[in-house]
Amino acid sequence: MGQRIVLFYVALFAGIWLLSLFPRSTVTRMAFSWFGPIPEEGESFAKYQLRWAFYSIDWLGQIFCLLLLFYLASYFYPGIEQNQGFLVFAAFALPIGSGMALLAAVTFLIKAAKARYLGPNPLYGRQS
């Protein structure tokens, strides 16, 4: 059992290392897309928070698409909703994930509005 765990971690780190060799490839960007946006040179804090809000809304859309697929599967295959794996994703994980994505989007929008209208709204990458 211990050998399988070690083999898993060796394969995991080798895969991450291999992906890091090609940072602009489509596969690497898909694998690391959950990291979120990175602040750009000269970008204001409010704009950066707004990009985070759109990133969260994007995740919310992806979760809604998955929920739609699960409910379509339950429509076309009526017995599938009794499957434990289906229930874990469709009735538990995806609704919690959508709530977290919505909460994150609202919070980032509030932070962006606060920084823009009330301040402070520093710029990234510039020394004062």
**pLDDT value of position 30:** 77
How confident is the model over 105-120, as pLDDT tens digits?
999 999 999 999 998 9
Angle between helices 94-117 and 45-76 (to 10 degrees): 160
Residues 29 and 41 in one domain: no
Residues 70 and 122 in one domain: yes
**pLDDT value of position 57:** 95
Residues 15 and 43 in one domain: no
Residues 23 and 49 in one domain: no
pTM of the model: 0.73
Residues 24 and 49 in one domain: no
- Parent domain of 71: 36-128
Mean pLDDT of the chain: 90
Residues 55 and 113 in one domain: yes
